[in-house]
Structure 1
Amino acid sequence: MKRRFKIVTGLAAVVIAAATGILALGVPPADAAVGGSGPYPADYETSSGLPNHTIYRPQNLPAEKLPVFVWGNGGCSGNGLSQQNFLREIASHGFLAIANGAPNGSGSTTAQQLTQSIDWAVAENSRSGSKYYGRLDTTRIAAGGFSCGGLEAYAVSGDPRVTTTTIFSSGLLNDADDYQLRRLTRPIAYFIGGPSDIAYPNAMDDWGKLPATLPAFMGNLNVGHGGTYDQTNGGEFGRVAVLYLKWRLKGDTTAGSQFVGPDCGLCRSQWQVQQKNLTLDGGTPPTSPSPSVPPSGSPSTAPGCSAAYRVQDQWSGGFVAGVVVTAGNAAINGWRVSVTLPGGAAVTSVWNAVGTGTSGTVTMANAQYNGRLAAGQTAGFGFQGTGTGAGATVSCTAS
């Protein structure tokens, strides 16, 4: 069952209302980074052939062809500068990013505008005399969006020209819309703001309903619904979006290693990670932690699954830890991890698992959406605690 997060409905769009200190949507960020951090300093422009859109591109088009990323703004805002730091950062790494809405535009957008962006890019790539003539890779197109814009991205995910979908702090609002999940056939990635994100329950509900064989990534960064889009170069969401697009649209497997396997780059960071059916370039994802970055606790195996514990952050008086659960040689229907904490440590909050107990040996069982794992598949959960996290041990039991 979907939990409806606060919305305002209109004829053209669903507009997310920020009610808990969320950064204002549709307002150009004050610290807009000039150019982005990539090798191709980027800016935005408009085109008479694509009204009510904002086009982010390298200022000097590189020799390499640019894959295309079409974007729906938070709140379905008609201001194409709503996430300008984030989109300029993506463009600076060799992409053409097209946002719904004119620069400083007003009103609301629709999913149809994402289709218009794709149509325009394909046409410009084929039009003699266009600055983009033969300069775009229109076989590699991603659709993405933040909050209400994520609903727009879902709506066009069935377009055969879309090769991957990216959902940022969003989830379908009604069970009646789940057909959009069932029709997915190409990779999807979710980047969500953790349990404090108002879209979190809906995103996790969607995650549990994806087609069984669909390649999918779920990353949760506990920053809430507002994300990091207004930070310089789009902050952490900008960084991971670039990596994901480099992997999926440019075939960069080094970037892809941030998302694939139990020892993926984001698995060893503040992100809470889940994966389904992910491989690098058709290969087999890694199955053991890198010896150069061992977990801070000792991995322990049991029939059916294994668990690896890692302290992700430690400060005076508290810590954040993550655990990666890996299914064994056969599929499992659920898992339960026992975590023996060091003396004086206590759990204060848990995400992506159901916790029992707060000190000594505590148990963390799968949530409704992440218990069923195929052979070798992983799921992750995390928790925050008081005291010191180093020295904990874990064991896993499958069902």
Structure 2
Amino acid sequence: MSRMKTVLVGLASALVLATGVVALSPPASAASLVEVTNFGNNPGGMRMHIYVPDNRPANPPIVVAMHGCGGSGPGFYSGSEFASLSNQYGFIVIYPSAMQEAGFGRCFDTWSDASKRRGGGSDPVSIESMVNYARTQHGGDINRVYATGSSSGGMMTQHMLAVYPDLFKAGASFMGVPFNCFANAAAYPPGGPCTNGTMNRTPQQWGDMVRAAHPGFTGTRPPIQLWHGTNDTLVPYSLLQESIEQWTNVHGLSQTPTSTDTPQANWNRRRFGTQVEAYAIQGAGHSLPSTGMARAAIQFFGLDRAAPTTPPGNPTTPPGNPTTPPGNPTTPPGNPTTPPGNPTTPPGGAGCSATVSLNQWTGGFVATVRVTAGSAGTNGWSVSMTLPGGASVTGVWNANRSGNSGTVQFSNVSYNGRLGSGQSTEFGFQGSGSGSGMTPSCTAS
């Protein structure tokens, strides 16, 4: 078994890695985890476990919490904080167990054609049946259903929000990938085109994939919270940006954050309106959720407070997102009056131009650089950028790099150098120190 396969199976089977330093026991309560064997239509052949807290309202919300590859519902129950939070706030938790082999353990099906459309079959239909069981047997509120998960479960979280936007009211994806990142089963293992660090679609392409999953849907799309460790190499950190592009496009939002902050040490959050939140966890590998992150997800869902007076599931403001986000001053910290990366005149070079968008926090930043070809197009490109004193590059995606500090050169990789007239591509890099004032210069070949 390859090193990558060993890591992935070990991570998800006991959630030793997928929960970081968290080592939790089942919550102290008379309630217990119960397996349900006949919950309805089950084309994915999945197992279902459910946790129903003793203290709950007449129509409790429903949270679907999904494990990583090689794991199980009971493993995620004992290795995460969702059940103890359900005791506190009175929501039902469904823990599905994936049963489809992906070559390195059982994973949720986010690759088959059947799984990629509403009612198409496979795991999504099985999960829908589990939700309906919780509604009919335990009085669960069908208007307050939420999805969350880690790794493969994080992938399925984004998947379910795309395929069943009429069922799920919000989601929190830990270390996931955008919907339809995997073309088929052969593309699923690590090293495939989704998870080998080369995935780079446009926001429009990503958004169109979501819209195609349920083309008749005209309602409000569910808000989403996205989490990723900056040192994750199993599911590359660069995929956080691809997910941001997908869901901001789905919600009709700009890719420029409306606010940034640091709710806890090393948790760097970007907000895009009230519908999309993205957390970059500094220094974390493939190890989420860790302590406190499940609570942040529950807060995003709006389950840490009494049910609203507006009919459940249809609040004026999406659940978990107050009109003025807490902890965000009028001017977000680290963001100058003029939004970074939007100079009045975009800098450019022979045959191409480049602009930079900056997400900064105390001691570090992530920069996204958009390269746009001139009228003649490009066969390749290079971007030169001078970093402020004391700043250095610590990671890069979708580009090659020469140098770490001072003047750094970035150049195209094999798949994004050729651009037609007016076409664009993006690359990104993470740095330590301050990135304020960087001005890119682009040269085409």
TM-score bin, normalised by smaller chain:
0.5 to 0.7
1:349 match: 394
Q: Deviation per CA, 1:51-108, whole angstroms, max 9, x where unpaired?
A: 7433234431136x43322232112523423254332255344532211149xxxx95
How far did residue 125 of structure 1 move?
A: 3.2
TM-score, length-scaled by structure 1: 0.56
Which of these residues, 228, 235, 256, is aligned with residue 321 of structure 2?
A: 256
For residues 207-226 of structure 1, the aligned pairs below 5 Å read 207=243, 210=246, 213-215=249-251, 218-222=278-282, 223-226=284-287
Q: 1:94 to 1:66 in 2, by over 3 A?
A: same
1:286 match: none
Q: 1:352 to 1:145 in 2, by over 3 A?
A: same
Secondary structure of the residue aligned to 2:76 is: coil
Which of these residues, 198, 201, 206, is aligned with residue 234 of structure 2?
A: 198
TM-score, length-scaled by structure 2: 0.52
Q: Distance in 1 between matches of 2:181 and 2:332?
A: 43
Q: 1:359 to 1:197 in 2, by over 3 A?
A: closer
Which of these residues, 134, 139, 142, is aligned with residue 138 of structure 1?
A: 142
1:330 match: none
The 8 Å contact of residues 244 and 256 in structure 1, kept in 2 or not, is answered as yes
Q: Distance in 1 between matches of 2:337 and 2:358?
A: 7
Q: Distance in 1 between matches of 2:154 and 2:68?
A: 8
Q: Distance in 2 between matches of 1:322 and 1:265?
A: 23
1:88 match: 83
How far did residue 212 of structure 1 move?
A: 8.1
Q: Deviation per CA, 1:111-160, whole angstroms, max 9, x where unpaired?
A: 6566445434434534xxx5x33xx3202323333223345446644234
Which of these residues, 20, 24, 28, is aligned with residue 31 of structure 1?
A: 24
1:161 match: 167
The 8 Å contact of residues 72 and 145 in structure 1, kept in 2 or not, is answered as yes
The 8 Å contact of residues 56 and 97 in structure 1, kept in 2 or not, is answered as yes
Q: Kindly provide the amino acid, as one letter, of the partner of residue 34 in structure 2.
A: T
Q: Distance in 2 between matches of 1:199 and 1:151?
A: 10
The 8 Å contact of residues 107 and 152 in structure 2, kept in 1 or not, is answered as no
Q: Kindly provide the amino acid, as one letter, of the partner of residue 281 in structure 2.
A: L
Which of these residues, 65, 70, 77, is aligned with residue 71 of structure 1?
A: 65
Q: Distance in 1 between matches of 2:247 and 2:24?
A: 40
Q: 1:140 to 1:254 in 2, by over 3 A?
A: closer
Which of these residues, 282, 286, 298, is aligned with residue 242 of structure 1?
A: 298
Q: Kindly provide the amino acid, as one letter, of the partner of residue 129 in structure 2.
A: D
1:175 match: 183
Q: Does the alignment pair 1:310 with 2:360?
A: yes
The 8 Å contact of residues 148 and 170 in structure 1, kept in 2 or not, is answered as yes
1:97 match: 93
Q: Distance in 2 between matches of 1:109 and 1:393?
A: 44
Q: Kindly provide the amino acid, as one letter, of the partner of residue 183 in structure 2.
A: D
The 8 Å contact of residues 341 and 361 in structure 1, kept in 2 or not, is answered as no
Q: Distance in 1 between matches of 2:360 and 2:245?
A: 29
The 8 Å contact of residues 309 and 394 in structure 1, kept in 2 or not, is answered as no
The 8 Å contact of residues 387 and 406 in structure 2, kept in 1 or not, is answered as yes
Q: 1:152 to 1:296 in 2, by over 3 A?
A: closer
The 8 Å contact of residues 154 and 176 in structure 2, kept in 1 or not, is answered as yes
How far did residue 164 of structure 1 move?
A: 4.3
The 8 Å contact of residues 298 and 308 in structure 1, kept in 2 or not, is answered as no
- Number of equivalent positions: 319
Q: Distance in 1 between matches of 2:408 and 2:30?
A: 50
Amino-acid identity (%) = 15
The 8 Å contact of residues 301 and 319 in structure 2, kept in 1 or not, is answered as no
Higher relative strand content: 1
How far did residue 254 of structure 1 move?
A: 8.6
The 8 Å contact of residues 70 and 98 in structure 1, kept in 2 or not, is answered as yes
Q: Distance in 1 between matches of 2:107 and 2:281?
A: 27
- Output the aligned Cα RMSD: 5.5
Q: 1:124 to 1:294 in 2, by over 3 A?
A: closer
Q: Distance in 1 between matches of 2:435 and 2:241?
A: 34
Q: 1:392 to 1:122 in 2, by over 3 A?
A: closer
The 8 Å contact of residues 356 and 362 in structure 1, kept in 2 or not, is answered as yes
